[in-house]
Structure 1
Amino acid sequence: MRFDVPTLFSLMLILSLALALLLPLLLGWGDSQGARRAQLCAAAQAAGWALLLLPPEGMRLTSTVALGLLSGSVSLLWLAADQWVPGRFGRWIHLGMPVLVMVGYGVGWDNYGLRLAWSNGCIGLQMLALCASLLQPVKRGPSGNLRWRLLLVVSMGLLALLNLARAYLAGFDTAHLPRFDAPHPLNMGFAVMANICVLTAAIAVLVAWRGETEAELRRLTQLDAATGLANRRAFQQRSVDMISMARRYAEPLMLLVMDLDGAKAINATHGELKGDQAITLFGRCLDEQKRLGDVVARIDGQRFAVLMARSDLVGPPALDRRLRDALLELAPRELGFTLGYSAGWAKLRNGDRNIEDLLHRAEAALYAAKRQGKGRLCAEPGLEAELSVAATTV
């Protein structure tokens, strides 16, 4: 089988159409904006090549729209990459380039060299801008893997250079001007590289999407589904670093443990749905009242914990008061009944091996609060005296 330029461009159209159909099946529409933008990129590219190759040659409107769609596919690829590795530069370049390509191509329609130089030059520069943005250092984002970005940079960078070479011949070397489907070495190289670029872009999209999905799964395994707070496992993992930092810099660390009062009675009287809403409301209020840097978690059914770094002895009682005031205001309005809790707190000691030792003393204080009539805060033995001394000193 002989691969000439028209055959390679036809293969390009087939690949683009196949990817436009397959990417939605592989990635789904889902919650990933990056995946949706990548799918729109494939669709725009397929539509652009279809309009460029299928209609009879010389149709001004379809050719102009086709070039706009091809430029738009590069813009959508940039938008997808910016979702996976945020902070890329060049937003306005990519948003404005499709319009710029269509305007220049349409205005210069009567001059083949001008419209070829304009369209190839603009899209080539747009591709180089995409490559440069992908080489930016990654500050945040779940899919900053360098491999898929380098794959895109190498393939699209070569295609960009071929676009610029075609633009140069069309604009400055009209004696060697290659027509779109002419058997010119530059056209052949461009057609081959375009097919390779479509495949590598698809691979890069799949790798980036997989990285995003894996990061999201890791995040979800550390969250409580009902409240959105950290779960017990994540709480224990974070406590290791916080205890280490507290000991390294000789800073205080407090643990406050809370347990809803009458949770079974709420389910029995108002129904399990109201019970779930009570859990959700309590978690939301606790998250809103915590200090910046505190770690809040749901560690059991109706039990919550707050690890307070760099907190003095008045920190836990102050948080307790804020939380009770918030619940007193919100619970009757949102639930139709009041919502109370008992709490205990403890301070990190020199002999504590890990968070479990601290948690054991805080829960002992919690049980003391329940025995004393619920709806109150108790400190571990010895802390009440320390708190009184601190208050007297102040």
Structure 2
Amino acid sequence: MSGPAILLSLLFGTAVVTTIALAIAFAHFGRQRHVLTWTASYGAGILQWLANAAGFFLQSAAMFIVTGITLIVSASLLAIGIRQRSGRPVNIMAFAVPATVVCVAIAVAIGVFGNQIMQGMIIPTYVGLLLLVSAASLWPLDRAMTPPEKALFACLILFALCQLALAVSATFIRSATEGKDLYRNILSLGMPTIYVGTAISAVLVVAGDLAQQLRSQMRHDSLTEVLNRRGLEEAAAQAIAQARRHDRPLSLVICDLDGFKALNDTYGHIAGDHALKGFARLLTLAVRRGDIVGRMGGDEFGLLLQDSDAQAAADVMERVRLEVAHLSLPRVPDGTLRASFGVAALLADDRTLEDMVHRADAALYTAKKLGKNRVSIASAA
């Protein structure tokens, strides 16, 4: 088998395997839009390498035109998918219009003029610029890059540089044979490794996103979207360690809805779910960034307020208590909801969340015993 045949087979096989992997990830793990877009990108890559092989072995100008067009489509879809994943706005026309212009230019350069210099300059230049845009879009705005993102970012930059190097080397082509060696060397030595690396990195990014999604699902309550008991315990361990390390106050609040069972029995479980979601949302909005909200089970919630002593935490919960009665929720009559709160500050002997839970539970019991719909501090219980 000749060198070009081996090279094209490798690139075709990479596109096939990547397309299948991304299609499976889309179908079975969340149906994320950017994964579907990347699947279409590498699907276009399959057509690209088939057309490239046909053009090379049959010396068909039409197949080279198809190769150029499918490469533009593949690169555009890759860039669109990265913007979708990053949560950035996607203006389809901003991609479609220049892509169409470039495709027309490719058809004219190859089909009308048969100009290999134009062909070798137009396609790599546009694809290189698209890849640079993709790399810029991949960079997160509010966090550090994950290792798979770093790998994909590096591959996109290398891919872009390789394409731009191809465009520059095309300017040295003077005839059917003169100056082609540099172009072919860049194409044969750089392209396979970078193309395969980009495909693997894209799959790793999808796998990393899936792992992060699964970790988040394991730590969060599906109904209220706050932390579950496991997530609360993990976050509490870090919060307690940080409070001790910096000698800062920390308070735990345990609260629940008064008469929640009666609400469920009277208005139904859907009303109960609305009440839980509304209460969780109110708690989340009431605390600061960095504070922790979790559902401990049933209608019981736990909050860790950092840099807050028991009295400061009680003041915050008092405001929440007053707002609970004014929550307007579907299937829940206005004024139905009430809540009780137990507050416990971190003490010198506390080592785990359970140490604080014991006292906060006792304070909550006191609040219930005194008539409900109130805030009780553990030291006063």
TM-score range, shorter chain: 0.7 to 0.9
The alignment status of 1:362 with 2:360, answered yes or no, reads yes
Residues 206 and 21 of structure 1, relative CA distance in 2, 3 Å threshold? closer
- State whether residues 252 and 310 of structure 1, in contact with CA within 8 Å, keep that contact through their aligned partners in structure 2: yes
The alignment status of 1:67 with 2:68, answered yes or no, reads yes
Residues 128 and 235 of structure 1, relative CA distance in 2, 3 Å threshold? closer
> Which residue is 2:372 aligned to?
374
TM alignment of 1:147-158, pairs within 5 A:
148-149=151-152, 152=155, 156=159
**Deviations 1:217-254 (Å, cap 9, x if unpaired)?**
11111101110001122222222332233334333222
The SS at the match of 2:221 is coil
- State whether residues 282 and 320 of structure 2, in contact with CA within 8 Å, keep that contact through their aligned partners in structure 1: yes
- State whether residues 151 and 204 of structure 1, in contact with CA within 8 Å, keep that contact through their aligned partners in structure 2: no
> Which residue is 1:221 aligned to?
218
> Which residue is 1:272 aligned to?
269
| Code of the aligned partner of 2:319 | R
| Code of the aligned partner of 2:313 | P
TM-score by length of 1: 0.76
**Deviations 1:345-393 (Å, cap 9, x if unpaired)?**
122223323322222111111001111122222112348xxxxxxxxxx
- State whether residues 67 and 101 of structure 1, in contact with CA within 8 Å, keep that contact through their aligned partners in structure 2: no
Residues 284 and 194 of structure 1, relative CA distance in 2, 3 Å threshold? same
Residues 356 and 12 of structure 1, relative CA distance in 2, 3 Å threshold? closer
Q: Which of these residues, 285, 290, 304, is aligned with residue 287 of structure 2?
A: 290
| Cα distance in 2 between the residues matched to 1:380 and 1:18 | 60
Structure 1 residue 295: Cα displacement: 0.9
Q: Which of these residues, 201, 215, 231, is aligned with residue 228 of structure 2?
A: 231
| Cα distance in 1 between the residues matched to 2:229 and 2:100 | 52
| Code of the aligned partner of 2:41 | C
> Which residue is 2:163 aligned to?
160
Structure 1 residue 304: Cα displacement: 0.6
- State whether residues 128 and 160 of structure 2, in contact with CA within 8 Å, keep that contact through their aligned partners in structure 1: no
Number of aligned residue pairs? 371
The alignment status of 1:35 with 2:35, answered yes or no, reads yes
> Which residue is 2:78 aligned to?
77
| Cα distance in 1 between the residues matched to 2:247 and 2:263 | 43
The alignment status of 1:302 with 2:292, answered yes or no, reads no
In structure 2, the gaps of 5 or more residues are: none
Residues 202 and 21 of structure 1, relative CA distance in 2, 3 Å threshold? same
| Code of the aligned partner of 2:365 | Y
> Which residue is 2:24 aligned to?
25
The alignment status of 1:345 with 2:378, answered yes or no, reads no
Structure 1 residue 80: Cα displacement: 4.0
Structure 1 residue 198: Cα displacement: 4.9
| Cα distance in 2 between the residues matched to 1:347 and 1:19 | 53
| Code of the aligned partner of 2:274 | Q
In structure 1, the gaps of 5 or more residues are: 384-394
Structure 1 residue 82: Cα displacement: 5.5
The SS at the match of 1:299 is strand
The alignment status of 1:336 with 2:333, answered yes or no, reads yes
| Cα distance in 1 between the residues matched to 2:347 and 2:234 | 19
- RMSD over aligned CA atoms reads 4.0
> Which residue is 2:106 aligned to?
105
- Which stretch has the larger CA shift, 26-35 or 40-49? 26-35
Residues 371 and 132 of structure 1, relative CA distance in 2, 3 Å threshold? closer
TM-score by length of 2: 0.78
The alignment status of 1:251 with 2:252, answered yes or no, reads no
| Cα distance in 1 between the residues matched to 2:329 and 2:209 | 40
Percent identical residues: 25
**Deviations 1:74-117 (Å, cap 9, x if unpaired)?**
23334445566789xxx999777634532532454533134313
| Code of the aligned partner of 1:73 | S
The SS at the match of 2:347 is coil
**Deviations 1:199-232 (Å, cap 9, x if unpaired)?**
4443222222111111111111110111000112
Residues 18 and 298 of structure 1, relative CA distance in 2, 3 Å threshold? closer
> Which residue is 1:45 aligned to?
45
| Cα distance in 2 between the residues matched to 1:229 and 1:263 | 19
**Deviations 1:306-338 (Å, cap 9, x if unpaired)?**
111122555333333332343322246551361
> Which residue is 1:3 aligned to?
2
The SS at the match of 2:270 is helix
The SS at the match of 1:276 is helix
| Code of the aligned partner of 1:359 | V
